[in-house]
Structure 1
Amino acid sequence: MTTSEILAALNWRYATKVFDPTKKIPADTWSALEESLVLTPSSYGLQPWKFIVVRDQELREQLVAHSWRQRQVADCSHLVVMAVKTAYSLDDLDSFIARMVEVRGGSAESLAGFRKMVAGTQAQGYMTKEWAKMQAYIALGQFMTTCALVGIDTCPMEGFVAAKYDELLGLEAQGLTAAVLCPAGYRHPDDRYAALPKIRFQSDDVIEHR
């Protein structure tokens, strides 16, 4: 893509308030969007998350009541619930190291220095649920940008009751909690917010060169 095409896609994107429930994202497009989630960078590469894709319409209708009555979660094509680990354990770290060995070769023993460094950070209490949530927002940004580049609408959402989502999706049993939502699909022609100009500060107000 050219730089002008990238900027056009980012200007086209907005937090969609009304989705068209009759339009669904094609399977091949959705597959690429899921892969964009998988490819999200994270602190130490640890990926303390799971992305729950909710397609079941009955379940999504139940979630509306716990989403400040926002219909996006039910009317979108795909609802992504970005869940994170409530605590990062050494078992999680060892699972990641095993995956490193599987992908890159070598041995777990050769990664002892890396393990010691990350385990030290974990022991100091830095790898909290709040830390994991910050990682989820990296995934949110990557997902929304990728969607915009292929013409898919999204709406980042913090307005929901995490405890109810955890209950309905069975997240607590997995050591997870819902961090942020991102419905994806196609804007409804009646969504008046689509035509509103973006309100952003001037570049000089938010970017400083030194």
Structure 2
Amino acid sequence: MSSNIIDNLHWRYATKKFDPSKMLSDEKLKILKQTFNLTATSFGLQPLKLIVVSNPKLKEQLMPLSYHQSQVRDASHVLILCIEKSIDENFIVDHFKRVEGLRKTPRTILEPFEKDLIESFTEKNSAEIKDWMINQLYLTLGALLTVCAVEKIDACPMEGFQSEKYDALLGLDKKGLESVIVLPVGYRDESDFFINLKKVRRGVDELTIVID
């Protein structure tokens, strides 16, 4: 099984050209949504949202806001990974209510942790909280890319897009969200020049330090 995962990671690449005629099945899309939901985040707070765009006209509108990168137009779906505009006390309280409801953990146990977390976030400024949320988002990106490789779904993570214009077009700003990463997913066009290029990496021996 482990060797298959490595083979799949060799297979994946940042797809530059998607086949617009090939669409993800509902089952494949469900796997990606579940991956986003199940990925670890600090304190389990999940200060994130996943926007899924499949409408062709909307994807066409997003392309010029992505510096005319055709992946946004031609991919089966465009996943937009977003952070919350802010984390307040209510957000944290809601998290602990979920913990209590699902795990039946007594309030006497949860309250000290809830109080400490609220105090911790109160002491942070907005820039620190935003940086923390973006770090959580990149955890989900790594998980999504790995699952895409295992499921033989092509993907291309993109930071090159106009976030504020995305947010305005999709109404994300009104939902209290800010887009951070765009991830077109689908299936590669076999004419993509990058398909057969060797993967360039520094190598396991250079990147790994083993301390016995």
TM-score higher than 0.5: yes
- Aligned twin of 1:164: 165
Q: 1:78: how far off?
A: 1.1
String of CA shifts for 1:35-72, please: whole Å, max 9, x gaps.
Answer: 11110110111000000001111111111011011011
Aligned residues of 1:98 and 1:108 also touching (Cα < 8 A): no
In the alignment, the residues of structure 1 paired with residue 210 and residue 95 of structure 2 have an alpha-carbon distance, to the nearest angstrom, of: 38
How far off is 1:109 after superposition?
Answer: 4.6
Q: 2:33 maps to what in 1? A: 34
Aligned length: 209
C-alpha displacement of 1:87: 1.4
Instruction: Note the aligned Cα RMSD (angstroms).
Output: 1.2
Q: Which runs of 5+ in 1 are unaligned?
A: none
Provide the rounded CA distance (Å) in 2 between the counterparts of 1:35 and 1:94.
24
Shift of 1:116: 1.6
Match of 1:21, SS state, is coil
Q: Equivalent residues in 2 for 1:30-179 (5 A)?
A: 30-125=29-124, 128-179=129-180
Moved more, 98-107 or 72-81: 98-107
Q: What CA distance in whole angstroms lies between the structure 1 residues aligned with 2:155 and 2:203?
A: 24
Would the aligned equivalents of 1:86 and 1:128 in 2 still touch at CA under 8 Å?
no
1:193 partner SS: coil
Unaligned runs of 5+ in 2: none
Range with bigger deviation, 120-129 or 51-60: 120-129
SS in 2 for 1:183: strand
TM-score, length of structure 1 as denominator length: 0.96
Percent identity between matched residues is: 36
In structure 2, how many angstroms separate the alpha carbons of the residues matched to 1:35 and 1:132?
A: 19
Query: Match for 2:2: what amino acid?
Result: T
- The yes-or-no answer on 1:199 pairing with 2:200 is yes
**Structure-2 separation of matches of 1:9 and 1:93:** 38
Answering whether residue 179 of structure 2 is matched by residue 186 of structure 1, we say no
Instruction: Give the Cα–Cα distance (whole angstroms) in 1 for the partners of residues 108 and 34 of structure 2.
Output: 30
* Structure 2 counterpart SS, 1:194: coil
